[in-house]
Structure 1
Amino acid sequence: MKPFSFGKRDNASKALAAKKDGAQFLAGGTNLVDLMKKHIATPDELIDINATLSNKVEAVNGGIRIGAMVRNSVIANDPMVLSKSPLVAKAVLAGASPQIRNMASTGGNLLQRTRCPYFYDVSTPCNKRKPGSGCSALEGSQRMSAVIGYNEQCVAVHPSDLCVALVALDAKVNILTKGEQRSVIPFRQFHKLPGNSPQLDNTLPENALIMSIDVPDEGFNKNYAYVKLRDRESYAFALVSVAAALKLQGNRITEARLASGGVAHKPWRWEKAEQFLKGKEATPANFGAAADVALEDVKPLPGNLFKKVMLRGAIETALQNSLTA
């Protein structure tokens, strides 16, 4: 690990003012420390922001506001989250391990890097690590790679479970930039596809801090499910995950939300499948048809053809499980 200096700041403005080239913010450190050990992240300075940002879950405009420093384990057990947005808690519990959830921050969860094996292997080309060097996964192991939204620049996937639930629920990210400018980024616009800049995972401006995440209360707290398919029961990233939430009148679906992890460079919303379900009966046949609609745009790589079959089953299962939440 490269030597670095270490400092603390007690408010966001001071932290942003202190951030120079070569400095990085440190929250829980559950991802950053791994990157530093692998010499992928090589900061000259770490700025501890644990005392800088909110660690509270609060009621805001009928929904909830999750401070950027709220630990993942707190989200999973918070009474307000469990009441208003239980899908968020369910997704959090599917991720990492209890020890990591005790340290990982909400803001840091949004900013975590891919777990593509070539990204972590500094001896191989990787456009996310070194733009223009190439994507080793295109001719290598593609088991964990994307099946939608990728290009020749990058086939890596976003690793978060929490973010899949947040994109399904139309959350918003509240940020602060230098100069005390506050703004809001809709969650669907926060993470990005690789395009011509695969080294960028998100649209957070340079020298900005995530302050909090707002999750609106839109009535998806009764019929919801999160399905995660992975190699191990715990502490494993998703091959495929699905967040499903329905609003029902009797057995008729008035609105549906459907999102996935493990399939793209960002948490993916299946919007065409959501529209297909709207107004239909909540039946296994319609759930299967919705899965088929989602799969229309899926293009697996040669090394992850199994993901298409796996994804179809996960979508059907999540929708069916949402009826018995």
Structure 2
Amino acid sequence: MGYRVVVAGATGNVGREMVNILADREFPADEVALLASSRSVGEQIEYGETGKMLKVQNIEHFDPTGWDFALFAIGSEATKVYAPKFAAAGCTVIDNSSLYRMDPDVPLIVPEVNPEAIDGYRAKNIIANPNCSTAQMVVALKPLHDVAKIKRVVVATYQSVSGAGKQGMDELFEQSRNIFVGDPAEPKKFTKQIAFNVIPHIDSFLDDGSTKEEWKMVVETKKIMDPKVKVTATCVRVPVFVGHSEAINIEFENEISAEEAQKILREAPGVMLVDKREDGGYVTPIECVGEYATYVSRVREDPTVENGLALWCVSDNLRKGAALNAVQIAELLGRRHLQKAA
């Protein structure tokens, strides 16, 4: 007997990826329900390669009693309304929004990094999915931290417009087209023109001059990996449709060479090392689209600090940064706690 699984927000970018990944990974689901707001009710989405079409239902009228998991991709405001309702009905919520990430009673999980933390899920029957840029970074950092103990991380992100949803992707497309034909490229979703430009601003500004996206990377890395690790981030939106990139500088307590780091990363779960010191011997965002792995390239020693390394990290933000990680959490929860057979 398999699981009964809900995907809430199934018509959005992340929700559609959740549906695809459940099918791709042959998740042991006997039944899948797709939910969205009233404006999407009745829309049909294909599940897997069998051609089976699932009809989108209204989340307002859905009864979660008897369902095992609910993968939420509906934003913080809607999650605030529906997550407690689903959790109270016995349906474990795996939430992609930022609402519960820093709640001490809610595990914040990246399965390759801190699987044991999922054991605390029963406190609220809710599990949080981390920020997309945090998720891929900790996958790359954790195996190195286990060996040489990270003291400090300085990261600059190059985040695709899909992180801002369909509106962000549409704006990049429309602005690019308008520029080529000589029409105005006025910003709507973003604060400045995104086509042929980069914007050092994601989410709202905080009192200290950082943005909320940068704050998320700091506090989430500490919660997932180690509260003693110091992190500073600069998060930048770039004119790429899908795939987040990160330039990461790491300072360790113990000595570690680039060669040793490469060896560790080559064997690390969830990591694909592509690091040839030649033209094209690295991964770019366009190559990671549709892939599950977090790619690491350009591993090298940093001579400006003691025990320093620098590396380049790329991942599909709609997959490992969101949908894939949520499905992996469901798989992990099934293995550790629910014990249902497929």
**Range of TM-score over shorter length:** under 0.3
Greater per-residue helix proportion = 2
The TM-score with structure 1 as length reference comes to 0.27
